[in-house]
Structure 1
Amino acid sequence: MVRGKIEIKKIENVTSRQVTFSKRRNGLFKKAHELSVLCDAQVAAIVFSQSGRLYEYSSSEMDKTIERYGKFSNDYFVPGRPQVELYLQELKKEMDIMVKKIELLELHQRKLMGQGLGSCSAAELQVIDTQIEKSLRLVRSRKAELYADQLRKLKEKERELLDERRRLHEEEIRERLVRPRLPVTLHSEKDETESGCRTKHSSEVETDLFIGLPVARV
């Protein structure tokens, strides 16, 4: 049996109207739940009955959904917050203020670098001079700290090298003290006798001195 179309108009019968409201409300929340699950969508539904009773459904926290809706709707007002259009106007004003501050800082930086000083008065130049001197003192102080730190590290390195050199020298001395001595070679009596004979034989060599022609010796 084909269900006929229902004319969309207010139901005059109070009982029928309440029954239809209950059925259609449940159907609406069911469809909203299916939509959120099937399409991974953030869905929220708010329904007030004729008597003023509230019915709601939300796939996530209702407050976050309402807050998100307020960010995308210019006609929606979140209590305690301005409308989106006013909020954007405030952001624009803040942006303009920030741009002006950046321009002033860039101008001041150029003056500190010695650029664009033609329009500066004597008082302004004095202020710039004071700021530069202060900056120089800070830079020199930091530079001195770095140099002192480098010098300290070099001294520590030098001390380590001296300690290592002293240690190696002590090890060398200990090795010399414990190194075994070479044995002394003792000559035997035979060697002494042979040596004495060689000395005596050498002493018996003739050394006669004569004058004249050499004579053949027998």
Structure 2
Amino acid sequence: MVRGKTQVRRIENATSRQVTFSKRRNGLLKKAFELSVLCDAEVALIVFSPRGKLYEFSSSSMEKTIDRYIMHAKDVNINKKSREHNAQQLKSDAASLMKKIERLEASKRKLLGENLESCAIEELHDLELQLEQSLSSIRNRKYQMLEEQICRLKEKEKILTASIQEKLNAEPRLQLCAPAVSDDYDSQNTDVETELVIGRPGTCKVK
């Protein structure tokens, strides 16, 4: 026979309610004991009857279990409050950063010459001073960079000049010298005799 599902609601009859309480109470205490033994769990069970009678079960010590529960509940509450505080702090920081970004963007637009209609004369004067200071800083930086570039170029020029001079000193110089003419050669050329023979062989020679 299939057992139907029992509807859970308050039992109106007092006698039946007391009998059901006694049966369910014993079963609940038994389940708590089995849970503590089988699973090595720390279990504490407190039950008050409709008449105010106390029934309890503890696997170790009721006081220690209750103290442990209180400490755990405090830690949970502290962590919860800490998370809520951190969330609120993050929201506040985000809102502050958004306002700061909006102010910076408005200041940037004014420096670019936009949205100047709402500016007073004093604010326009301050913007002019800021632009002049920025322009002066930009010029100083530009001149500094130009001077550094000129110094680097001069150093490079010195290095190249020294390298070229070193190469020129290392190469052998060409010496153009005319060949010397010896005195013996001149005397031989001047002492050459020319013999001219006129007439038949055996006649006199003319020098």
TM-score by length of 1: 0.52
- Select the residue among 23, 29, 34 that pairs with 1:10: 29
Residue-by-residue CA offset, 1:32-77 (whole Å, 9 max, x unaligned): xxxxxxxxxxxxxxx98523159x9xxxxxxxxx9xxx9xxxxx43
Structure 1 equivalent of residue 39 of structure 2 = 24
Alpha-carbon shift at residue 9 of structure 1 (Å): 0.8
Change (3 A) 1:196 1:94: same
In structure 1, how many angstroms separate the alpha carbons of the residues matched to 2:105 and 2:191? 106
Change (3 A) 1:113 1:8: farther
In structure 1, how many angstroms separate the alpha carbons of the residues matched to 2:193 and 2:111? 106
Structure 1 equivalent of residue 78 of structure 2 = 78
- Choose 1 or 2 for highest CA Rg: 2
In structure 2, how many angstroms separate the alpha carbons of the residues matched to 1:182 and 1:48? 127
Structure 1 equivalent of residue 62 of structure 2 = 50
In structure 2, how many angstroms separate the alpha carbons of the residues matched to 1:8 and 1:140? 91
Structure 1 equivalent of residue 86 of structure 2 = 87
Structure 2 equivalent of residue 213 of structure 1 = none
- Select the residue among 173, 177, 187 that pairs with 1:176: 173
Change (3 A) 1:8 1:93: farther
Structure 2 equivalent of residue 163 of structure 1 = 162
Alpha-carbon shift at residue 104 of structure 1 (Å): 0.8
**Identical counterparts, % of pairs:** 26
Residue-by-residue CA offset, 1:142-169 (whole Å, 9 max, x unaligned): 1121111101101101111221222223
In structure 2, how many angstroms separate the alpha carbons of the residues matched to 1:197 and 1:116? 118
Alpha-carbon shift at residue 171 of structure 1 (Å): 2.3
In structure 1, how many angstroms separate the alpha carbons of the residues matched to 2:184 and 2:27? 145
In structure 2, how many angstroms separate the alpha carbons of the residues matched to 1:101 and 1:189? 108
| 1:123-138 → structure 2 map (5 Å cutoff) | 123-138=122-137
Q: Following TM superposition, where does structure 1 have runs of at least 4 consecutive aligned residues deviating by more than 4 angstroms?
A: 179-192, 194-198
Alpha-carbon shift at residue 84 of structure 1 (Å): 3.3
Number of aligned residue pairs:
150
Structure 2 residue 92 is the aligned partner of structure 1 residue 101: no
Change (3 A) 1:24 1:186: same
Residue-by-residue CA offset, 1:69-105 (whole Å, 9 max, x unaligned): x9xxxxx4335x7343443233222212211110110
Structure 2 equivalent of residue 41 of structure 1 = none
CA contact (8 A) 2:35 2:41 kept: no
Change (3 A) 1:140 1:49: farther
Structure 2 equivalent of residue 120 of structure 1 = 119
Change (3 A) 1:196 1:48: farther
Residue-by-residue CA offset, 1:119-147 (whole Å, 9 max, x unaligned): 11000011111111111122112112111
Alpha-carbon shift at residue 195 of structure 1 (Å): 9.4
In structure 2, how many angstroms separate the alpha carbons of the residues matched to 1:166 and 1:122? 66
Change (3 A) 1:82 1:51: closer
SS in 2 for 1:52: helix
Change (3 A) 1:49 1:144: farther
